[in-house]
Amino acid sequence: MGHNIQIANQSLRLENRYLMLGNTLILADLHLGKTTHFRKAGYAIPSAARGADQSELIRILQLENPEQVIVLGDLFHSASNSECEELAMITSQFPSVQFELVMGNHDILAPEIYRSMDFETSEAQSIGNLILTHEPLENVPVGKTNMHGHIHPGIRLVGRGRQSLLVPCFYLTPSHFCLPAFGALTGLMRQKPKKADKIYGILEDEVAQVF
């Protein structure tokens, strides 16, 4: 179950590792190819994990039927690999969708390779009072909110029996809105929110405000 919020005069619906802004689907940090990278390095990653993010992306595209998809950086984890062909096969199934990539620090491929996968690229985008980037901006103009990825935010939830669980989250401050990483193997950076911040945790079957 999603969670609706208002940011910078925009209505957003937060879902499991992505959000909807009208007919635009926004997500960050897919890091496709990270499973292959880990397996080559000798880590015991189940082979089924390799296609999990791609399958989830297809499911979401079919469910939401967006007009536009914006990825806030780090589409792939490293240099060109078989995941490029797989992603091209996915985007080709949705010819009416406009795919956009806001470049991140892992996006090191040539622009023509991204275009071959139907992605247009940019360093930043603006939607109303939202400024979309990969890494957080140091200075955000008054009245604007910087929506970004890069951090892979997580929040630790503590139960009554003092058991704890670190879960991905959406992290809102007065000037920034950080999206969770879409990729399942990206890891989490624990956040320590301040009084004015808000945290929306991604739980088993819902997104809920937890701070």
pTM of the predicted structure, to 2 decimals: 0.93
φ, ψ dihedrals at 33, nearest 5°: 95, -5
Chunk the chain into consecutive blocks of 10 residues (it has 211) and report each block's average pLDDT, rounded to whole numbers.
Answer: 96 98 98 59 48 91 98 83 87 98 94 94 98 98 97 92 89 98 91 96 95 96
Full set of structural domains in the chain with CATH: 3-209 (3.60.21)
